[in-house]
Amino acid sequence: MTSGTDRSRAQAGTVGDLGIGILMLDTHFRRLPGDIGNARSWSTPVQFRVVRGADPAAIVHGRPGDFLQPFIDAALDLVSCGVRGITTSCGFLALLQKELAAALPVPVATSSLLQAPLIEAMLPAGQQVGILTFAPEALSARHLSAVGVRTDTPIEGLAPDSLFRRVYGAQGGVSDFAVLEQEVVAAAQALVEKHPNAGAILCECTNLPPHSAAIARATGRPVFDIIGFVDWFARSLMPPVYPKD
């Protein structure tokens, strides 16, 4: 018997060997290599869907729940094309983790923040993870609780008047890699200066991975981001086959 999902895949035209489907915010800025929305960032096949109207302001500072159904619809479209897992292009969509996981027939990892409990389990006694975020004033206890993160977790982020916030918040501004990296590194250094027990840095924002290496060099801490997380996720969906001898 052919299931409803199988029928929808046949109607949509399944694409082979797709591990991850990425739900993208509605943006128009330049996405650097290492950014979740740049195809060159990935070592595994991915498929993108833009959720129209879900721009950074609406998701970070607005009501992401208003876009739940459009995100579900876009995810189901990706599943119909053959993807085996879903992620998103904004860590603030942690607020929709439970709802999307309940609505979809494949595993869902909405946010890099899902890594926090695992990172803390790996750290030496007395250390905790610190979060580097796009908008520290907007990342609330609700976001953290939605994905099982301690609400006393240290948080640092980019200033509202930074080029990073202007570019990736779709407020205007020309992308300049050197300036963006300088701002990101300064925020990471502020995080560890304020919280010396932050033994690892977790990047909430999916635009931060192009700068993960610089963050690690500047702080001496391991750095976790969405690209490493989704690579791990994708490997579980499409495990490698090893030689028999």
pLDDT given at position 13: 54
DSSP letters, 81-108, are: HT-SEEEES-GGGGGGHHHHHHH-SS-E
pTM of the entire predicted model:
0.91
pLDDT given at position 12: 45
Residues forming a β-bridge with 24 = 50
Query: Whole-angstrom Cα distance, residue 17 to residue 83?
Result: 8
Are 96 and 68 contacting, i.e. CB atoms less than 8 angstroms apart? yes
pLDDT given at position 68: 98
Q: Which fold has domain 112-225?
A: Rossmann fold (3.40.50)
DSSP letters, 123-187, are: SPTT-EEEEEES-TTT--HHHHHHTT--TT--EEE--TTSHHHHHHTTS-----HHHHHHHHHHH
**Whether CATH 1.10.10.10 fits 4-111+230-237:** no
**Owner of token pair 């739900």:** 23
Same fold across 4-111+230-237 and 112-225: yes
> What is the rounded end-to-end Cα distance, in angstroms, of the chain?
39
pLDDT given at position 93: 98
The segments of the chain whose pLDDT lies below 50 read 1-12
How far, in Å, are 5, 8, 46, 80, 104 from residue 13 at the CA level? 12, 8, 16, 8, 19
Query: Whole-angstrom Cα distance, residue 10 to residue 194?
Result: 54
For residue 217, give both structure tokens.
Answer: 């060099």
pLDDT given at position 172: 78
| Domain parsing of the chain, residue ranges | 4-111+230-237, 112-225
